[in-house]
Structure 1
Amino acid sequence: MKVNKSDKDAIVNAWKQVNAKDMANKIGNLGKAFKVADLAIKVEKIREKSIEGYNTGNWGPLLLEVESWIIGGVVAGVAISLFGAVLSFLPISGLAVTALGVIGIMTISYLSSFIDANRVS
């Protein structure tokens, strides 16, 4: 691949400016923010279902909500484990396996997000 000297200098300079450690820290903080948001949503759901349970004596919705969290986590964990096992037996190069792994984990996470109290009941 031929690259002009000025372009080569610009590309090298751009790579020198990348601060991978800072980028990793920012992405880690973003992940923590999503985790906090998820926890806040779960607390709100527990609050709503608990109020309903105390007012009506019907604790079923609260139990279904908690059960859906547990089932969703177990299903995602088992699916990711099976996916990893199947992926390890495929005769593909490292980069392709990594790409398939990322796509598979994203797909499994997306599909497991559909497990909610309505589906569990």
Structure 2
Amino acid sequence: YTYYEPEFTMAFNSTKELIGVGILCNYTSYGYGVKKVAVSTSLDGKTWIKMGTATTATQYDDETPFPIVFNTPVTCKYVKLTILESFDTSENPRFLIGEIGAYEYLDWNL
């Protein structure tokens, strides 16, 4: 979890065919949820493909992940998330991430 580090990279032991990622935030009642995130993928950790930017209009609670579903499945070994905005409106906006998941199949209810 973090307050100020806006970039996370997940590395897998082998390539995966992903259909999306999910971000589970903590203390969302304080505004520490992620509002906008950019997602990139890579096969080698050096050359990145921008998957796009996801924005949520409403904040998810502490038990529901912010789902980011790709338009098409992508084969990758690395996923980079760059947090662009949180729901915290203070002078130094914060977010608090409890879990980040990568999904090879859809297992949340959209």
TM-score band (shorter)? under 0.3
Which structure has the larger Rg over C-alpha atoms? Answer: 1
Q: What TM-score do you get using the length of structure 1 for normalisation?
A: 0.23
Structure (1 or 2) with the greater helix fraction: 1
Structure (1 or 2) with the greater strand fraction: 2
